[in-house]
């Protein structure tokens, strides 16, 4: 009589054991590498918190600024002119753009070029971009600054204004990156600057379309930053700027309920911070610094408390006095 067969079940084969050991070793190695590099980054951050981070030179760099006819765009152009950069100005407002061009020359720009461009139209962005490449050269610092605001409640906002807001504030970023990023990648040298907004971080009453466009611009810029990091393109830098409301005229009539905490910002101050962030190659810039803390609170507070905080800070009413002027980029 034959003896009963042993119960059948899963067996650990030498091959399976080796595979598990290899996976464990790989995980341990990756974890050790991650922790080591993280420690170096933390030490570097602590050092540069005490000692100012070195600033790069932009002399001779070709800097393209959209929405350059007025406001922050004009101030950015003048700042880069003083730093010795070649400045390329884009705006739909030809007269204002040419005035910025004249001011940039007076500020010391070696070379400055003004192009009339409606950034809401993809074909026009592509056409003018080709003109820039032929007449000026490859753009090495791209600043997407052009923006418009409607300031209506969502259901009261005409569809064409919603589409225009998305076209200028967000889609223009897609088309300019398509035009100028390939040359940056080929040379492994470039800087992408997205002027988003605090309204690209937190929803604001009567700014649904504007918030949507600025959230999108922020997410797009961050995604491209991750793409370049994944491809180990260390020469391509990204800076994403999120200021509170800036007193440039675009948000005329808006006010802050707590100006000592969240003031309506002077454009000169925001531009100085933006230039500093670009020269130090910072990825994120929130202005004022309170926004960093508010974003932390948003991530941990119950939603009802976050709503109460927004009410306390006057976010619900910041657009109440807004004066719509049908401004373009």
Q: What is the CATH number of the domain that holds 195?
A: 3.40.50.720
Q: How many domains does the structure of the chain reveal?
A: 1
Using an 8 Å Cβ cutoff, are 263 and 217 in contact?
A: no
Q: Is residue 76 part of a domain?
A: yes
Query: What is the per-residue pLDDT for 327?
Result: 47
Query: What is the per-residue pLDDT for 54?
Result: 85
End-to-end CA, the chain: 94
Q: Is residue 51 part of a domain?
A: no
CB atoms within 10 A of CB 135: 10
Which residue stretches of 51-197 are H helix?
71-82, 94-106, 122-135, 159-166, 172-187
Q: What are phi and psi of 293, to 5 degrees?
A: -70, -40
Q: Is residue 89 part of a domain?
A: yes
Q: Which domain holds residue 211?
A: 62-313
Helix (H, G, I), strand (E, B) or coil at 115: strand
Q: Is residue 3 part of a domain?
A: no
Q: Is residue 46 part of a domain?
A: no
Question: Which stretches of the chain drop beneath a pLDDT of 50?
Answer: 1, 327-329
Q: Which of 210, 218, 292, 324 is catalytic?
A: 210
Q: In whole angstroms, what separates CA 156 from the centre of its chain?
A: 29
The per-residue pLDDT for range 150-196, each reduced to its tens digit, is 998 999 999 999 999 999 999 999 999 999 999 999 999 999 999 99
Distance CA 246, CA 207 (A): 15
Query: What is the per-residue pLDDT for 215?
Result: 98
| Exposure of 186 in the CB half-sphere (CA atoms within 13 A) | 8
Length of the chain: 329
Question: What angle in degrees, to the nearest 10, is found between the helix axes of 94-106 and 71-82?
Answer: 30
Using an 8 Å Cβ cutoff, are 108 and 77 in contact?
A: no
CB atoms within 10 A of CB 207: 27
pTM: 0.87
Query: What is the per-residue pLDDT for 329?
Result: 44
Q: Is residue 84 part of a domain?
A: yes
Q: Is residue 105 part of a domain?
A: yes
Query: What is the per-residue pLDDT for 15?
Result: 53
Q: Is residue 257 part of a domain?
A: yes
Query: What is the per-residue pLDDT for 32?
Result: 81
**Is 269 a known active-site residue?**
no
Per-residue burial over 212-225, b if 16 or more Cβ lie within 10 Å, else e, is bbbbbbbebbbebb
Query: What is the per-residue pLDDT for 46?
Result: 75
């Amino acid at each position: 009589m034959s003896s009963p067969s042993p119960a059948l079940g899963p067996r650990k084969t030498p091959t399976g054991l080796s595979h598990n050991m290899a996976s464990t070793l790989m995980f341990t190695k990756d974890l050790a590498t991650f922790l080591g590099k993280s420690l170096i980054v933390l030490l570097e951050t602590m050092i540069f918190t005490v000692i100012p981070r070195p600033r790069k030179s932009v002399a001779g760099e070709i800097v393209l600024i959209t929405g350059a006819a007025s406001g922050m765009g004009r101030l950015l152009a003048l700042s880069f002119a003083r730093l010795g950069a070649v400045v390329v100005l884009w705006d739909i407002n030809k007269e204002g753009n040419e005035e910025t061009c004249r001011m940039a020359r007076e500020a010391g720009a070696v070379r400055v070029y003004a192009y009339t461009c409606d950034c809401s139209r993809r074909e026009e962005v592509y056409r003018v971009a080709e003109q820039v490449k032929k007449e000026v050269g490859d753009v090495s610092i791209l600043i997407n600054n052009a923006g418009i605001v409607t300031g209506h409640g969502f259901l009261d906002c005409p569809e064409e204004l919603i589409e225009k807001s998305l076209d200028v504030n967000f889609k223009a970023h897609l088309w300019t990156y398509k035009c100028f990023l390939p040359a940056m990648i080929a040379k492994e040298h470039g800087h992408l600057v997205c002027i988003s907004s605090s309204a690209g971080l937190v929803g604001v009453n009567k700014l649904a379309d504007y918030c949507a466009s600025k959230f999108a611009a922020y997410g797009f810029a961050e995604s491209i930053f991750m793409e370049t990091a994944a491809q180990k393109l260390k020469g391509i830098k990204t800076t994403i700027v999120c200021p509170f409301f800036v007193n440039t005229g675009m948000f005329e009539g808006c006010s802050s309920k707590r100006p000592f905490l969240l003031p309506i910002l002077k454009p000169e101050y925001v531009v100085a911070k933006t230039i500093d962030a670009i020269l130090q190659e910072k990825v994120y810039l929130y202005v004022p610094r309170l926004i960093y803390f508010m974003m932390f609170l948003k991530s941990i507070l119950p939603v009802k408390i976050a709503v109460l905080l927004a009410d306390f800070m006057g976010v619900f009413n910041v657009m109440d006095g807004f004066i719509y002027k049908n401004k373009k980029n």
